[in-house]
């Protein structure tokens, strides 16, 4: 595997086993990247890796030892690391009084701390390759529904961490963020016509929409972008609503 991929651009994608993460892997593979597919669900990561010709690494993104192992395995098997896509995330929605400290810490570990750990472990590789990091936040960093406390806080923190990393790792490494809005990953059943109509672009988002944005931010076409947030939400955060 190392011989096959040593000359290709190589990227680590976390949360790669399903949904947006799997779409990112497929899009990057189609554009010539060699991908290390990381996921807590090792079987899911292996399935995506087998489909796309990448490698799979089972890991818990909230654990420092796992992130160090992920970077070491990716560097060894792929030959180099040119990019990081920190996509892994969990919801953990719930009422304030029913949200325990353990619940809060679990969401922040996966959605926020993981990016810090991964950037710390991968920074020497990325500096050598003049690579890029893309984090995946959410429009919930800017707007909320009730009972999304830990999730919204983690995504807001991720945007701040993105621009802090951009300044910390400059000029060798670019760091940018994609903030998806409503993306249909099939988890919540069939969509209704009204779900599409409420979006200014006329439809709910697809995982491939986020994947295209990530691919752009990793590419040389985005060479002058760092510390930026690209909102991928069909215009919803710009829509004024009167009731």
Cα–Cα distance for residue pair 118/130, rounded to 1 Å: 16
Catalytic residue list contains 216: no
Q: Which of 36, 117, 151, 215 is catalytic?
A: 151
Q: SS in 3 state form for the chain?
A: CHHHHCCCCEEEEECCCCHHHHHHHHHHHHCCCEEEEEECCHHHHHHHHHHHCCEEEECCCCCHHHHHHHHHHHHHHHCCCCEEEECCCCCCCCCHHHCCHHHHHHHHHHHHHHHHHHHHHHHHHHHHHCCEEEEECCHHHCCCCCCCHHHHHHHHHHHHHHHHHHHHHCCCCEEEEEEECCECCCCCCCCCHHHHHCCCCCCCECHHHHHHHHHHHHCHHHCCCCCCEEEECCCHHHCCCCC
Find tokens 């903030």 and name the residue.
179
Q: Which residues are catalytic?
A: 151
């Amino acid at each position: 595997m190392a011989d096959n991929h040593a000359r290709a651009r190589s990227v680590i994608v976390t949360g790669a086993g399903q949904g947006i993460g799997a779409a990112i892997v497929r899009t990057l593979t189609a554009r010539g990247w060699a991908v290390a597919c990381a996921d807590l669900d090792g079987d899911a990561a292996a399935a995506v890796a087998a489909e796309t010709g990448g490698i799979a690494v089972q890991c818990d993104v909230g654990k420092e030892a796992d992130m160090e192992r992920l970077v070491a395995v990716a560097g060894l098997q792929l030959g180099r690391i040119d990019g990081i896509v920190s996509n892994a995330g969990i919801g953990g929605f719930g009422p304030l009084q029913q949200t325990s400290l353990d619940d809060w810490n679990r969401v922040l570990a996966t959605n926020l701390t993981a990016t810090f750990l991964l950037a710390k472990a991968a920074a020497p590789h990325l500096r050598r390759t003049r690579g890029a990091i893309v984090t995946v936040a959410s429009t919930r960093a800017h707007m909320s529904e009730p009972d999304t406390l830990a999730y919204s806080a983690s995504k807001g923190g991720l945007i701040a961490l993105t621009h802090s990393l951009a300044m910390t790792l400059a000029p060798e490494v670019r760091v940018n963020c994609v903030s998806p809005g409503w993306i249909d990953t099939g988890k919540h059943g069939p969509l209704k016509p009204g779900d599409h109509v409420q979006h200014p672009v006329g439809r709910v988002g697809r995982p491939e929409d986020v994947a295209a944005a990530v691919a752009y931010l990793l590419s040389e076409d985005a060479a002058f972008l760092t510390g930026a947030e690209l909102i991928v939400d069909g215009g919803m955060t710009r829509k004024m609503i009167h009731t």
